[in-house]
A = this chain, B = another copy of it.
Amino acid sequence: MEGGTRLSIRAIEDLARKALEAAGTDPDNAAPLARAVAQAERDGIPSHGLAYVPVYCEHVRCGKVDGRAEPTVGRPRPGLVRVDAATGFAHPAIDLGFKVLIPLARAQGVAMLGVVNSYNCGVLGHHVERLAEAGLVGLGFTNAPASIAPVGGARPVLGTNPFALALPDGAGSWRLLVDQSASVVAKSEAMARARSGEPVPEGWVLGTDGHPVTAPEAVLRGTMAPAGGPKGVGQALLVETMAALLTGATLGLHASPFSGTEGGPPRTGQGFVAFDPEAMAGAGFFAGLRDLAGAIEGQQGARLPGARRKAARARADAEGVLVPDRLLDRLKP
Protein backbone atom coordinates (compact mmCIF):
# COMPACT_ATOMS: atom_id res chain seq x y z
CA MET A 1 0.00 0.00 0.00
CA GLU A 2 1.59 3.27 -1.06
CA GLY A 3 1.65 6.29 1.25
CA GLY A 4 -1.04 8.96 1.24
CA THR A 5 -2.10 12.17 2.93
CA ARG A 6 -5.62 12.93 4.13
CA LEU A 7 -6.79 16.27 2.72
CA SER A 8 -9.97 18.31 3.18
CA ILE A 9 -12.15 18.98 0.11
CA ARG A 10 -11.18 22.64 0.41
CA ALA A 11 -7.46 21.78 0.36
CA ILE A 12 -7.99 19.57 -2.71
CA GLU A 13 -9.74 22.40 -4.52
CA ASP A 14 -6.89 24.83 -3.67
CA LEU A 15 -4.30 22.34 -4.87
CA ALA A 16 -6.13 21.81 -8.18
CA ARG A 17 -6.61 25.55 -8.72
CA LYS A 18 -2.96 26.37 -8.10
CA ALA A 19 -1.77 23.62 -10.46
CA LEU A 20 -4.16 24.75 -13.21
CA GLU A 21 -3.10 28.38 -12.83
CA ALA A 22 0.58 27.43 -12.83
CA ALA A 23 0.02 25.66 -16.16
CA GLY A 24 -1.39 28.83 -17.71
CA THR A 25 -5.12 28.69 -16.93
CA ASP A 26 -6.52 32.05 -15.94
CA PRO A 27 -8.29 32.26 -12.54
CA ASP A 28 -11.83 32.53 -13.97
CA ASN A 29 -11.34 29.31 -15.90
CA ALA A 30 -9.40 27.46 -13.21
CA ALA A 31 -11.93 28.10 -10.42
CA PRO A 32 -14.93 26.07 -11.75
CA LEU A 33 -12.66 23.26 -12.90
CA ALA A 34 -10.94 23.08 -9.49
CA ARG A 35 -14.37 22.90 -7.83
CA ALA A 36 -15.31 19.99 -10.11
CA VAL A 37 -12.04 18.18 -9.32
CA ALA A 38 -12.72 18.54 -5.58
CA GLN A 39 -16.31 17.38 -6.09
CA ALA A 40 -15.12 14.24 -7.90
CA GLU A 41 -12.79 13.40 -4.98
CA ARG A 42 -15.68 14.06 -2.60
CA ASP A 43 -17.92 11.74 -4.66
CA GLY A 44 -15.44 8.87 -4.57
CA ILE A 45 -14.65 9.23 -8.31
CA PRO A 46 -10.83 9.64 -8.17
CA SER A 47 -10.46 9.11 -11.95
CA HIS A 48 -11.95 12.62 -12.41
CA GLY A 49 -10.29 14.07 -9.30
CA LEU A 50 -6.72 15.17 -8.68
CA ALA A 51 -5.42 12.34 -10.88
CA TYR A 52 -6.86 14.18 -13.90
CA VAL A 53 -5.23 17.53 -13.06
CA PRO A 54 -1.83 16.72 -14.64
CA VAL A 55 -3.71 15.87 -17.87
CA TYR A 56 -5.63 19.17 -17.76
CA CYS A 57 -2.33 21.01 -17.22
CA GLU A 58 -0.65 19.15 -20.08
CA HIS A 59 -3.60 19.98 -22.35
CA VAL A 60 -3.35 23.69 -21.49
CA ARG A 61 0.37 23.61 -22.26
CA CYS A 62 0.01 21.79 -25.60
CA GLY A 63 -2.99 23.81 -26.75
CA LYS A 64 -5.58 21.01 -26.69
CA VAL A 65 -7.49 23.39 -24.46
CA ASP A 66 -7.14 27.17 -24.22
CA GLY A 67 -6.70 28.10 -20.55
CA ARG A 68 -7.42 31.74 -21.30
CA ALA A 69 -10.52 31.22 -23.46
CA GLU A 70 -13.47 33.56 -23.04
CA PRO A 71 -16.73 31.73 -23.72
CA THR A 72 -19.53 33.72 -25.34
CA VAL A 73 -23.28 33.27 -25.10
CA GLY A 74 -25.94 33.55 -27.81
CA ARG A 75 -29.75 33.31 -27.82
CA PRO A 76 -30.75 31.85 -31.21
CA ARG A 77 -34.44 31.29 -30.22
CA PRO A 78 -36.67 32.14 -27.24
CA GLY A 79 -36.16 28.65 -25.74
CA LEU A 80 -32.48 28.20 -26.59
CA VAL A 81 -29.11 29.30 -25.21
CA ARG A 82 -25.87 28.55 -27.07
CA VAL A 83 -22.40 28.98 -25.64
CA ASP A 84 -19.22 28.91 -27.69
CA ALA A 85 -16.54 27.57 -25.35
CA ALA A 86 -13.86 28.91 -27.73
CA THR A 87 -11.79 25.71 -27.23
CA GLY A 88 -11.53 26.44 -23.50
CA PHE A 89 -12.59 24.20 -20.63
CA ALA A 90 -16.23 23.05 -20.63
CA HIS A 91 -16.86 24.07 -17.01
CA PRO A 92 -16.74 27.89 -17.32
CA ALA A 93 -18.74 27.66 -20.58
CA ILE A 94 -21.45 25.58 -18.89
CA ASP A 95 -21.50 27.97 -15.89
CA LEU A 96 -22.04 30.91 -18.24
CA GLY A 97 -24.83 29.08 -20.04
CA PHE A 98 -26.58 28.02 -16.83
CA LYS A 99 -26.88 31.67 -15.75
CA VAL A 100 -29.21 32.15 -18.73
CA LEU A 101 -30.70 28.63 -18.87
CA ILE A 102 -32.00 28.51 -15.28
CA PRO A 103 -34.27 31.58 -15.33
CA LEU A 104 -35.27 30.75 -18.93
CA ALA A 105 -36.44 27.23 -18.04
CA ARG A 106 -38.53 28.64 -15.18
CA ALA A 107 -40.17 31.16 -17.50
CA GLN A 108 -40.62 28.91 -20.56
CA GLY A 109 -41.28 25.60 -18.78
CA VAL A 110 -38.51 24.01 -20.87
CA ALA A 111 -35.28 25.42 -22.30
CA MET A 112 -32.09 24.03 -23.83
CA LEU A 113 -28.42 24.98 -23.62
CA GLY A 114 -25.96 23.88 -26.29
CA VAL A 115 -22.20 24.21 -25.75
CA VAL A 116 -19.83 23.95 -28.74
CA ASN A 117 -16.06 24.15 -29.29
CA SER A 118 -15.87 22.50 -25.91
CA TYR A 119 -13.84 19.84 -24.12
CA ASN A 120 -14.43 16.87 -21.81
CA CYS A 121 -16.85 18.15 -19.13
CA GLY A 122 -15.65 15.78 -16.37
CA VAL A 123 -18.42 14.14 -14.33
CA LEU A 124 -21.61 14.97 -16.26
CA GLY A 125 -23.76 14.47 -13.16
CA HIS A 126 -22.11 17.44 -11.42
CA HIS A 127 -23.63 19.82 -13.95
CA VAL A 128 -27.20 18.50 -13.88
CA GLU A 129 -27.10 18.40 -10.07
CA ARG A 130 -26.80 22.17 -10.15
CA LEU A 131 -29.95 22.44 -12.26
CA ALA A 132 -31.75 20.33 -9.64
CA GLU A 133 -30.33 22.49 -6.85
CA ALA A 134 -31.92 25.43 -8.68
CA GLY A 135 -35.25 23.58 -8.47
CA LEU A 136 -35.33 22.24 -12.05
CA VAL A 137 -35.29 18.80 -13.64
CA GLY A 138 -31.86 18.70 -15.31
CA LEU A 139 -31.02 16.48 -18.26
CA GLY A 140 -27.49 16.53 -19.70
CA PHE A 141 -25.62 15.00 -22.62
CA THR A 142 -21.95 15.12 -23.66
CA ASN A 143 -20.27 13.51 -26.65
CA ALA A 144 -16.79 12.07 -26.95
CA PRO A 145 -14.38 10.74 -29.62
CA ALA A 146 -15.84 7.67 -31.36
CA SER A 147 -15.18 4.32 -29.64
CA ILE A 148 -18.49 2.41 -30.08
CA ALA A 149 -19.34 0.62 -33.34
CA PRO A 150 -22.86 0.53 -34.82
CA VAL A 151 -25.00 -2.62 -34.54
CA GLY A 152 -23.64 -5.13 -37.04
CA GLY A 153 -20.47 -3.08 -37.70
CA ALA A 154 -16.99 -3.01 -36.18
CA ARG A 155 -15.58 0.49 -36.78
CA PRO A 156 -16.30 3.14 -34.10
CA VAL A 157 -18.81 5.88 -34.95
CA LEU A 158 -20.05 7.09 -31.53
CA GLY A 159 -18.40 7.93 -28.19
CA THR A 160 -19.22 6.34 -24.84
CA ASN A 161 -21.67 9.28 -24.71
CA PRO A 162 -23.19 9.56 -21.23
CA PHE A 163 -26.49 11.13 -20.26
CA ALA A 164 -27.32 12.38 -16.77
CA LEU A 165 -30.63 13.20 -15.10
CA ALA A 166 -31.06 14.99 -11.77
CA LEU A 167 -34.41 15.43 -10.03
CA PRO A 168 -34.86 18.22 -7.47
CA ASP A 169 -36.05 17.57 -3.93
CA GLY A 170 -37.87 20.90 -3.82
CA ALA A 171 -35.65 22.13 -0.99
CA GLY A 172 -32.47 23.23 -2.77
CA SER A 173 -30.89 19.83 -3.27
CA TRP A 174 -31.29 16.83 -5.59
CA ARG A 175 -33.19 13.66 -4.76
CA LEU A 176 -32.17 11.28 -7.56
CA LEU A 177 -29.23 11.31 -9.95
CA VAL A 178 -28.73 9.03 -12.96
CA ASP A 179 -25.33 9.39 -14.68
CA GLN A 180 -24.55 6.61 -17.15
CA SER A 181 -22.34 6.06 -20.18
CA ALA A 182 -23.50 4.08 -23.23
CA SER A 183 -20.73 1.49 -22.85
CA VAL A 184 -20.50 -1.49 -20.49
CA VAL A 185 -17.50 0.11 -18.74
CA ALA A 186 -15.56 3.36 -19.02
CA LYS A 187 -13.06 3.37 -21.89
CA SER A 188 -10.30 4.62 -19.56
CA GLU A 189 -10.79 1.56 -17.31
CA ALA A 190 -10.48 -0.96 -20.17
CA MET A 191 -7.54 0.82 -21.81
CA ALA A 192 -5.61 1.21 -18.53
CA ARG A 193 -5.83 -2.55 -17.94
CA ALA A 194 -4.81 -3.38 -21.50
CA ARG A 195 -1.85 -0.98 -21.43
CA SER A 196 -0.61 -2.63 -18.25
CA GLY A 197 -0.66 -5.96 -20.13
CA GLU A 198 -3.67 -7.37 -18.27
CA PRO A 199 -6.53 -9.12 -20.10
CA VAL A 200 -9.92 -7.40 -19.70
CA PRO A 201 -13.10 -9.27 -18.67
CA GLU A 202 -15.18 -10.70 -21.52
CA GLY A 203 -17.96 -8.35 -22.62
CA TRP A 204 -16.15 -5.04 -22.10
CA VAL A 205 -14.51 -4.67 -25.51
CA LEU A 206 -15.29 -5.88 -29.06
CA GLY A 207 -12.56 -6.73 -31.55
CA THR A 208 -12.15 -5.60 -35.14
CA ASP A 209 -14.49 -8.44 -36.23
CA GLY A 210 -17.21 -7.20 -33.83
CA HIS A 211 -16.82 -10.13 -31.40
CA PRO A 212 -15.71 -9.88 -27.75
CA VAL A 213 -11.96 -9.78 -27.10
CA THR A 214 -10.00 -9.95 -23.84
CA ALA A 215 -6.29 -9.98 -24.88
CA PRO A 216 -4.53 -6.63 -24.28
CA GLU A 217 -3.33 -6.06 -27.86
CA ALA A 218 -6.82 -6.80 -29.27
CA VAL A 219 -8.44 -4.54 -26.64
CA LEU A 220 -6.24 -1.59 -27.62
CA ARG A 221 -7.44 -1.92 -31.25
CA GLY A 222 -11.06 -2.72 -30.32
CA THR A 223 -14.28 -0.80 -29.71
CA MET A 224 -16.19 -0.38 -26.45
CA ALA A 225 -19.10 -2.84 -26.06
CA PRO A 226 -22.39 -0.93 -25.77
CA ALA A 227 -24.40 -1.62 -22.58
CA GLY A 228 -27.45 -3.72 -23.47
CA GLY A 229 -26.13 -4.27 -27.00
CA PRO A 230 -28.20 -2.32 -29.57
CA LYS A 231 -29.81 -0.33 -26.73
CA GLY A 232 -26.44 1.12 -25.72
CA VAL A 233 -25.95 2.20 -29.33
CA GLY A 234 -29.43 3.79 -29.15
CA GLN A 235 -28.41 5.77 -26.05
CA ALA A 236 -25.17 6.87 -27.77
CA LEU A 237 -27.20 8.10 -30.77
CA LEU A 238 -29.56 10.04 -28.51
CA VAL A 239 -26.59 11.69 -26.79
CA GLU A 240 -24.81 12.44 -30.09
CA THR A 241 -28.01 14.12 -31.29
CA MET A 242 -28.42 16.25 -28.17
CA ALA A 243 -24.75 17.14 -27.59
CA ALA A 244 -23.48 17.48 -31.16
CA LEU A 245 -26.02 17.33 -34.02
CA LEU A 246 -28.43 19.85 -32.43
CA THR A 247 -25.75 22.14 -30.99
CA GLY A 248 -23.42 22.11 -33.98
CA ALA A 249 -20.49 20.66 -32.04
CA THR A 250 -17.95 18.30 -33.64
CA LEU A 251 -19.17 14.70 -33.99
CA GLY A 252 -17.38 11.97 -32.04
CA LEU A 253 -16.56 10.60 -35.50
CA HIS A 254 -14.37 13.62 -36.27
CA ALA A 255 -13.18 14.66 -32.79
CA SER A 256 -9.51 14.54 -31.76
CA PRO A 257 -8.74 12.33 -28.72
CA PHE A 258 -9.39 13.44 -25.11
CA SER A 259 -6.13 11.73 -24.11
CA GLY A 260 -2.58 12.47 -25.27
CA THR A 261 -1.45 15.74 -26.79
CA GLU A 262 -2.15 15.15 -30.48
CA GLY A 263 -4.84 16.52 -32.75
CA GLY A 264 -5.58 19.93 -31.24
CA PRO A 265 -8.84 20.82 -29.46
CA PRO A 266 -11.52 18.08 -29.65
CA ARG A 267 -14.29 20.76 -30.04
CA THR A 268 -16.90 18.30 -28.75
CA GLY A 269 -20.17 19.51 -27.22
CA GLN A 270 -22.67 19.40 -24.40
CA GLY A 271 -26.44 19.71 -24.42
CA PHE A 272 -28.61 20.42 -21.37
CA VAL A 273 -32.38 20.53 -21.22
CA ALA A 274 -33.98 21.98 -18.10
CA PHE A 275 -37.64 21.64 -17.11
CA ASP A 276 -39.76 23.37 -14.48
CA PRO A 277 -40.99 20.35 -12.48
CA GLU A 278 -44.33 21.86 -11.47
CA ALA A 279 -45.29 23.71 -14.67
CA MET A 280 -47.42 20.82 -15.98
CA ALA A 281 -47.75 18.49 -13.00
CA GLY A 282 -48.26 21.00 -10.17
CA ALA A 283 -47.79 19.38 -6.77
CA GLY A 284 -48.01 15.99 -8.51
CA PHE A 285 -44.33 16.13 -9.41
CA PHE A 286 -43.05 16.02 -5.85
CA ALA A 287 -45.83 13.69 -4.69
CA GLY A 288 -44.96 11.27 -7.50
CA LEU A 289 -41.24 11.49 -6.82
CA ARG A 290 -41.89 10.78 -3.14
CA ASP A 291 -43.91 7.66 -4.04
CA LEU A 292 -41.35 6.42 -6.57
CA ALA A 293 -38.34 7.05 -4.30
CA GLY A 294 -40.18 5.42 -1.41
CA ALA A 295 -41.00 2.31 -3.46
CA ILE A 296 -37.28 1.96 -4.31
CA GLU A 297 -35.80 2.80 -0.91
CA GLY A 298 -38.39 0.61 0.81
CA GLN A 299 -36.85 -2.52 -0.73
CA GLN A 300 -34.02 -4.15 1.16
CA GLY A 301 -30.82 -3.95 -0.89
CA ALA A 302 -32.22 -1.40 -3.37
CA ARG A 303 -31.00 2.17 -3.51
CA LEU A 304 -31.91 5.31 -5.36
CA PRO A 305 -29.46 6.20 -8.17
CA GLY A 306 -27.01 8.77 -6.73
CA ALA A 307 -27.24 7.42 -3.16
CA ARG A 308 -23.68 6.11 -3.29
CA ARG A 309 -22.34 9.56 -4.25
CA LYS A 310 -24.30 11.18 -1.43
CA ALA A 311 -22.86 8.71 1.09
CA ALA A 312 -19.31 9.29 -0.22
CA ARG A 313 -19.78 13.05 0.17
CA ALA A 314 -20.88 12.76 3.78
CA ARG A 315 -17.83 10.62 4.50
CA ALA A 316 -15.44 12.97 2.68
CA ASP A 317 -16.84 16.02 4.45
CA ALA A 318 -16.30 14.35 7.82
CA GLU A 319 -12.98 12.65 7.20
CA GLY A 320 -11.39 14.28 4.15
CA VAL A 321 -9.99 12.18 1.32
CA LEU A 322 -6.77 10.15 1.27
CA VAL A 323 -4.66 11.34 -1.68
CA PRO A 324 -1.65 9.23 -2.77
CA ASP A 325 1.66 11.00 -2.03
CA ARG A 326 2.91 10.11 -5.51
CA LEU A 327 0.04 12.13 -6.97
CA LEU A 328 0.72 15.05 -4.61
CA ASP A 329 4.32 15.07 -5.82
CA ARG A 330 3.12 15.35 -9.43
CA LEU A 331 0.98 18.37 -8.54
CA LYS A 332 3.81 20.38 -6.99
CA PRO A 333 4.59 23.45 -9.11
Which residues of A line the B interface, CB within 8 A? 76-80, 82, 107-112, 114, 137, 139, 149-155, 157, 163, 165, 167, 176, 178, 180, 184, 210, 227-235, 237-238, 240-241, 244-248, 251, 253-254, 273, 275-277, 279-282, 284-285, 288-289, 291-292, 295-296, 299-305
Contacts and interface: CB of A to CB of B under 8 A. Distances in A.
Contacts of A149: 299, 302
A234 B305 contact: yes
B110 A291 contact: no
Given A139-B238, A165-B238, A231-B235, 13 more contacts: A77-B110, A79-B109, A80-B108, A80-B279, A151-B303, A151-B305, A152-B301, A153-B300, A155-B299, A167-B241, A233-B305, A245-B289, A251-B291
A187 to B, nearest CB: 15
Contact of A273 (B110, B150, B251): B110
Contacts of A111: 79, 110
Contact of A78 (B107, B234, B284, B302): B107
A178 to B, nearest CB: 4
A110 B295 contact: no
8 contacts: A77-B109, A139-B238, A151-B305, A210-B301, A246-B277, A246-B280, A246-B281, A248-B280
A251 to B, nearest CB: 5
A238 B280 contact: no
Copy total for this chain: 2
A109 B78 contact: yes
A186 to B, nearest CB: 13
A329 B265 CA distance: 65
Contact of A165 (B78, B237, B253): B237
- The prevalent SS among residues of A at the interface is mixed
B165 A241 contact: yes
Given A245-B288, A296-B150, A178 B303 contact: no
Nearest to A106: B77
A86 to B, nearest CB: 16
Q: Could you say which of A227, A232, A247, A304 has the most chain B C-beta atoms within 10 Å of its C-beta?
A: A227
Nearest to A285: B245
Given A79-B109, A280-B76, A234 B178 contact: yes
A79 B299 contact: no
A77 B282 CA distance: 12
Nearest to A232: B228
Contacts of A289: 245
A227 B253 CA distance: 26
Contacts of A305: 151, 230, 233-234, 237
Nearest to A297: B150
